[in-house]
Structure 1
Amino acid sequence: MAEKTLSNKNNLQVLFEDNHIIVVNKRAGDIVQGDKTGDQPLSDVVKEYIKYKYNKPGNVYLGVVHRLDRPTTGLVIFAKTSKVLPRLNALFVSKDIKKTYWALVKNQPEKTQDTLINWLKKNPKNNKASVYNKEVSDSKKAILHYEIIQKLDNYFLLEVNLETGRHHQIRAQLANIGCPIKGDLKYGFDRSNKDGSIHLHARHIEFIHPVKKEVVKITAPLPSDPIWDACL
């Protein structure tokens, strides 16, 4: 068991850390917070890392600020103190955290850049978001901005900036314009990736540190695979 724990900590890619915040680069397949699968969540791995690194006795505090879908990779922010957690939550609510994603799609969007405005409704039975062009019962407004930033041999690399943070928002809205993300069977891509991932990566984040009041800018390295490698 000790070896497994140490292995998890060694696999953790920490991109930023101070006394208040820790930011890690999530791998595909990791869950941010515990769920019904019973699999070890990333939050527990980060707690183990902190406990081991600083030789902390007893329980380690860690606040989950936001989540990424299991097959998605990239930046995840955690609060290291109960004092900073509500401050980080407030930054997300006020949209004072700028989040930039990279997505690989096979079909070229009609427009080089565009703003997508839809209403999304979550179906808990199949854990999927339905997209509507007007408000319906129990739906939430979803806004994102995308731009094609690179054309590969068989795919297009989109940079996506979110204005809202809805369930499966990027996946659902891109699929709605005929551009499902590579590997995303749930939203209409024709085949899965071998590792169960999808080619959606939380690439960059920028915010004012809630305690130090300094600008924090962090970029998450891309996963290592031939198609992502072609984007560099």
Structure 2
Amino acid sequence: MPLVPNEESGIKVLYEDNHVLAVAKPVNVPTQEDASGDPDLLTLLKQDLKIRHQKPGNVFLGLIHRLDRPVGGAMIFAKTSKAASRLSEAVRSRSFRKLYAAVVHGSPRGQSGRLEHYLLKDPRTNTVQTVKPGTPGAKQALLEYRVVGEKNGLSLILVELHTGRPHQIRVQMQSIGCPLYGDQKYGAQVNRPGQQLALWSLLAGAPHPVSKEPLLFRSLPPRQFPWSEWPEAVYEEAH
């Protein structure tokens, strides 16, 4: 029996029309098929659309942006090729909004800031490192952050992504001495095996691909540690 989006499966539909599908990705589900062979979000959503809309043959669903496997929260998919093209252009032009919540060890120097690094991915190890500008293969990574809470050596930060590089938030925050809670790959020295990575896609938004009306979808992190260290209103009012 295929897993379909509903409250029981953990895949919550945030919005749907003829052009756009927005959902809350569960943690530890791959965004798309990978070497693990585990059920992935893109395939599960296609299965659901096929069943609900009684569609014969293959169902189109465009993947516009990705979340790392351990990351949950708001994602936007395109239900038509035209919508996929226009939403992808929104990503390229940086009119596609991505706001994340993250819990980090320690506290950044300022209560807000802008980080720019050049990142290089090693596909053999699936790891990313910061390198000097001009390094062959390196890509510019930009983000802005603000601290919205501090407790017991942890900080809750909101991160606005301006580029979408692999592992970007994790690597950039680690590079300033604030690795994410639960990050075994970039913060093994301060995290324990089994801890869940504390990174959540809080808001995802873009102009509607047809009407051009602004779309903005919110997904709240689960009420468990370390997210539960701060009131739910902090996440509900983030913008």
Whichever residue aligns with residue 218 of structure 1, its letter is: F
Q: TM-score, normalised by structure 1?
A: 0.92
- Tell me which stretches of 4 or more aligned residues in structure 1 moved more than 6 Å: none
Deviation, 1:50, is 1.2
Per the alignment, residue 78 of structure 1 pairs with 77
The one-letter code sitting in structure 2 at the alignment partner of 1:203 is: L
1:229 and 2:228 aligned? yes
Q: Deviations over 1:170-222 (max 9, x none)?
A: 0000000011101101102422463x631001111222101111111111121
Note the alpha carbon deviations across 1:4-34, whole angstroms, 9 max, x for none. Answer: x146654121111111110111111111111
Measure the CA separation in 2 of the matches of 1:178 and 1:6: 39
Equivalence for 1:106: 105
SS in 2 for 1:43: helix
Q: How does 1:18-167 map to 2 (within 5 A)?
A: 18-167=17-166
How much does 1:129 deviate?
0.8
Distance 1:72 1:218 in 2: 16
Tell me, in whole angstroms, the C-alpha distance in 2 between the residues paired with 1:83 and 1:133.
Answer: 38
> Do the aligned residues in 2 keep the contact of 1:120 with 1:140 (CA within 8 Å)?
yes
Give distance in 1, aligned partners of 2:154 and 2:118.
27
Instruction: State the shift of 1:152 in Å.
Output: 2.6
Q: TM-score, normalised by structure 2?
A: 0.89
Write the distance in 2 (CA, Å) between the matches of 1:98 and 1:71: 20
SS in 1 for 2:48: helix
RMSD, matched Cα: 1.7
- Counterpart Cα distance in 2 of 1:192 and 1:44: 32
Q: Which amino acid aligns with 1:191?
A: N
Specify the alignment match of 1:214 in structure 2. Answer: 213
Structure 2: distance between partners of 1:133 and 1:102: 27
Percent identity reads: 36
Name structure 2 gaps, 5 residues minimum.
Answer: 233-239
